[in-house]
Amino acid sequence: MAKKENNQREIIVNLLKDKSAMKQDVYKNTIQTFGMVRDTCKEVSQDLKSEIDKTDKRVLLNFLDINAHAFQLKVAGDMLEFYMHTNVFEFEKSHPMHKTGYIKKDPFNSYCGIINIYNFLADSFQFNRVNDVGYLVARIFVNREMRFFIEAKGPMGIKYNSFSTEPLTKENLKEMIYNFMIYVISFDLFTPPFDAVREVTVNEMQEKTSSVSLRTGKRLGYGATDSYEDEVNL
């Protein structure tokens, strides 16, 4: 019994020394990367705002800190919400990433922190339309070696679809943020089908909510049976 207990203790100690320590490294790198993303977004918004203000002050570009793990970038009628998950994730064994030489060399390289980027309508926050919907624009994955890759619709998802050979840089980030901004500005709000919004309750109109048929998002009114694809609407 004592020998079995010693073996179990040894397994636990090794897991804590190796796997748990690795996850701490991933978390530290994700925090650092999120700080870089935050600073770059702030810089980009200030730079573009000074340019836009010269021509039309109605077009708003604002940066807003929410908390240590979230901030918002308002781009005219759109809101980009950046959110860092506080946990570390592993990919399923069927994921293509496990077929790469980089992961085969050391499976610990596949553990990542995630920074999610969502697109909402700016009015959803301004008017507290709590049932409005947003869409995932991109996910930035960061591992223990500060290598990154991106899942995204558009050119960024193609260019960075596997782990980078170098850590994320400010130049990389600016390119990404500019592309995300272009993407959401180009993604318009579609008029919903008439039947999808033909009914509204007195309560909804009186309280000016968006809880049911007035819910607004960039795919407003379209259900699972419609032919619109994510790559068109994200």
Helices 21-52/170-186 angle, 10° precision: 60
In angstroms, the CA 195 to CA 192 distance is: 8
| Among 180, 217, 190, CA closest to 73 | 180
Q: What is the value of pTM for the model shown? A: 0.79
Q: What is the pLDDT of residues 142-180, one digit of tens each?
A: 999 999 999 997 788 899 989 999 888 999 999 999 999
pLDDT in tens, 165-222: 988 899 999 999 999 999 888 876 666 666 766 776 667 666 654 444 455 665 543 3
